[in-house]
């Protein structure tokens, strides 16, 4: 039970052991640490987490996170909790819309289980006929895209409505207008609020760093670095469920074999004359290749274990530890904290 006087907020940025929390209450920001009990029980705090904050110091804008609420969704890359929408941004021209690349992003997006919103930018660079041709084509793929132009502002009101009250992740290849869109959605002053320190800003385009930008009309937006070729490393048997066309076919009919990969198998419900079936086959090859590679690696590890056992002795090898955040000296940490505090004063 959450008492009505408890302070709850959303973690919008994480750096080392500090967390920026935007409180639900008046959207105030507090720079928080994490109660050591949470660390002891291994409870990590992610961007997007809903957190309980105690010991608020309203003057210095500080607080302590004492609890984290269960997550509705959790993404690994980018590391964001509770995202409920993925906006895939592509452009209709400059760079031209590449069906295969778009398809790959869509499949990757579907594999997260988070709701997708396909948005096509630079509407101003194509004719009405070209736009309509894409619309029809993508409807056949199972999507109803938003058409926008950040340049002229067309379609932005509808997109803003779609972003309201949600945690949205923005993704798409380079050059399609992600930064332009963020700049137009979030007035400069607001962007400043979460782009808290020089360090954070520099980290914006590294894969592990992520922060949530508060939208003026409520809602949070996470930018991801532009990447052009998302990796399709899903289970080959699951792949078909990430294409709406295949899903529809499977909902209407069943394949003869429950482990059908929808290639040459007899009485397959998925194989057929639909545009992205060729894409499916190509993605399937890469999913199979990745799975085989993973299996080979784990087999090699297993045989290594057997060998060690056969030697008849307990042989302990140093384990590779995941990279830890390197703690600087206390002085360095204090300096860092001071930088952050200066940023709060600027807000």
Binding site for Zn ion (CB under 5 A): 255, 260, 262, 268, 270
Query: What whole-number distance in Å separates Cα of residue 172 and Cα of residue 109?
Result: 10
**Residue whose CB is nearest to ligand GTP in the complex, by number:** 226
Query: What whole-number distance in Å separates Cα of residue 226 and Cα of residue 126?
Result: 23
209 binds ligand GTP (CB under 6 A): no
What is each CA distance from 330 to 37, 64, 124, in whole angstroms?
21, 20, 54
Nearer Cβ to ligand GTP (125/269): 125
Burial class, 65, CB count within 10 angstroms (exposed 0-12 / middle 13-18 / buried 19+): buried
Nearer Cβ to ligand GTP (74/124): 124
Q: What's the number of CA atoms in the CB half-sphere (13 Å) around residue 109?
A: 26
The pair of structure tokens assigned to 63 is: 């607080």
Smallest distance, ligand GTP to C-beta of residue 63, A: 33
Smallest distance, ligand GTP to C-beta of residue 170, A: 9
Q: How far apart are the first and last CA of the chain?
A: 33
- Annotated binding-site residue? 176: yes
Query: What whole-number distance in Å separates Cα of residue 244 and Cα of residue 248?
Result: 6
Q: Which of 6, 139, 140, 174 binds ligand GTP (CB under 6 A)?
A: 174
CA 51 to chain centre: 19
Q: Which does 83 bind (CB under 5 to 8 A by kind): Zn ion, ligand GTP, none?
A: none
Smallest distance, ligand GTP to C-beta of residue 91, A: 7
Element (H, E) at 216: none
15 binds ligand GTP (CB under 6 A): no
Q: Which of 28, 125, 237, 337 binds ligand GTP (CB under 6 A)?
A: 125
Angle at 113 between CA 121 and CA 16, to 5 degrees: 85
The pair of structure tokens assigned to 30 is: 């507090």
Smallest distance, ligand GTP to C-beta of residue 52, A: 35
Q: Which of 10, 15, 121, 168 binds ligand GTP (CB under 6 A)?
A: 121
Segment interacting with ligand GTP, rule: CB under 6 A, options 29-37, 172-180, 264-272, 307-315: 172-180
Q: Are 88 and 104 in contact (CB under 8 A)?
A: no
Residue 316 CB partners (closer than 8 Å, separation 6+): none
- Annotated binding-site residue? 179: yes
56 binds ligand GTP (CB under 6 A): no
Which residue positions form the known binding site for GTP? 121-124, 172-180
Residues that bind ligand GTP (CB under 6 A): 121-122, 124-125, 149-151, 174-180, 226
């Amino acid at each position: 039970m959450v008492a009505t006087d408890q302070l709850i907020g959303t973690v919008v940025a994480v750096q080392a052991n500090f967390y920026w929390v935007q409180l639900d209450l008046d959207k105030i920001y507090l720079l928080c640490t994490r109660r050591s009990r949470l660390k002891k029980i291994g409870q990590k705090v992610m961007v997007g987490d809903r957190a309980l904050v105690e010991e608020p110091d309203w003057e210095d804008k500080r607080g302590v996170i004492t609890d984290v609420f269960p997550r509705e969704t959790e993404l690994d890359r980018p590391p964001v909790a509770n995202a409920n929408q993925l906006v895939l941004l592509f452009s209709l021209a400059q760079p031209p819309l590449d069906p295969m690349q778009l398809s790959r992003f869509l499949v990757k997006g579907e594999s997260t289980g988070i709701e997708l919103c396909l948005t096509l930018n630079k509407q101003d660079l194509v004719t009405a006929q070209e736009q309509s041709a894409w619309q029809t084509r993508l409807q056949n793929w199972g999507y109803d895209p938003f058409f926008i132009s950040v340049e002229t502002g067309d379609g932005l009101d509808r997109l803003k409505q779609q972003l309201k009250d949600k945690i949205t992740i923005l993704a798409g290849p380079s050059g399609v207008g992600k930064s332009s869109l963020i700049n137009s959605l979030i007035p400069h002053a607001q962007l400043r609020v979460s782009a808290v320190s020089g360090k954070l800003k520099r980290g914006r385009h590294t894969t592990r760093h992520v922060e949530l930008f508060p939208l003026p009309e409520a809602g949070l937006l996470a930018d991801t670095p532009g990447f052009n070729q998302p990796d399709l490393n899903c289970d080959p048997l699951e792949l078909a469920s990430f294409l709406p066309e295949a899903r529809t076919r499977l909902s209407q009919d069943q394949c003869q074999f429950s482990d059908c990969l929808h290639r040459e198998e007899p009485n397959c419900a998925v194989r057929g004359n639909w545009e992205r079936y060729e894409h499916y086959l190509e993605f399937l090859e890469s999913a199979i290749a990745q799975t085989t590679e993973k299996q080979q690696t784990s087999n090699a590890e297993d045989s290594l274990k057997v060998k060690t056992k056969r030697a008849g002795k307990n042989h302990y090898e140093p384990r590779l530890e995941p990279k830890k955040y390197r703690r600087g000296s206390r002085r360095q940490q204090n300096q860092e904290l001071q930088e952050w505090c200066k940023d709060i004063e600027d807000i």
